[in-house]
Amino acid sequence: MPQPINAHSVASNPPKLWKAVLWRALVALAFGLVTVFWAEPGTMGLCVALALYLLALAATEYLTVRTLALPASDNRRVVLLGATALLAMGGVAAAIFASVVYAAWFAAAALAILGVAELYSALYKPAGSVKSALRSDWMISSILGLGTGLLLPFFIQAGPHGLLGVAGGGALMSGALWLLSALTLRHDGSKAKGQ
C-alpha cells in the first residue's frame, strides 16, 4: 500500500494530540493576558498567579505526555514527566512560601527545567522510533522556557509586577507557539484522514 509522504510524522501524531497542545496554549495565553492587565498584583497575587500557572502548566504537560503515549523504554517520557513533577512542586512551593524572592526562584527553576526537558526531547531520537510531531515546537518552546527561567531572577528587584511581566511575556510567546502547533496538528490530522 502506498504510504503518505509524511508517514513518520503521521505515525507519531496521535489523533487527540492537538487537543492536549491546545490546552497548553490556552493556559499560557490566559496567564499571559492576566499579567498584562493586572496593574498591582502584590506579593500574594504574584505567588498565587505563579503557583496556578505552574500547576496548570504541569497538568497540560502531563496530558501531552500521556497523549503522546511514549513507550516506557523511551527516555523522553521519563524526562518530560520528571520536569512535569518539578513544575508542580515549584507551583506548590511558590504558594507555600509566599515571598517574591522564593516565587521568582521557584518559577525560574521550574520553567528552566521544563525548557531543558523539552530541548532533550527535541534532540533525542531513540533507535527505531519515529520523529515526534512536537520536535520543532519543543525546540522553540525550550528556548522560551530557558530564557524566561534565566531572566526571572534578574527582575526580583522590579517587584511582583515586573516578575509577572517577564513570566507573562514568556507565557504569551509560548502560548502563541502552542496555539499554532495545535492548529497545525489538527489540520495535518484531518488531512491524513482524507487520504
pLDDT tens figures, 117-148: 999 999 988 766 667 789 999 999 999 999 99
C-alpha to C-alpha distance for 91 and 14, rounded to whole angstroms? 29
Predicted local distance difference test score (pLDDT) of residue 193: 56
What is the sign of the dihedral through the CA atoms of 67, 27, 134 and 71?
negative
C-alpha to C-alpha distance for 125 and 136, rounded to whole angstroms? 13
**Mean per-residue pLDDT over the chain, rounded:** 88
Domains and CATH numbers, the chain: 15-194 (1.25.40)
Q: Which amino acid is at 43?
A: T
pTM given for the model:
0.87
Task: Write out pLDDT tens, residues 9-26.
Answer: 434 567 789 999 999 999
Mean pLDDT of 56-78: 91
Q: Which three cell numbers stand for residue 19?
A: 487537543
Task: Write out pLDDT tens, residues 34-43.
Answer: 999 998 999 9
Mean pLDDT of 76-101: 95
Contact by Cβ (8 Å): 12, 149: no
Predicted local distance difference test score (pLDDT) of residue 4: 40
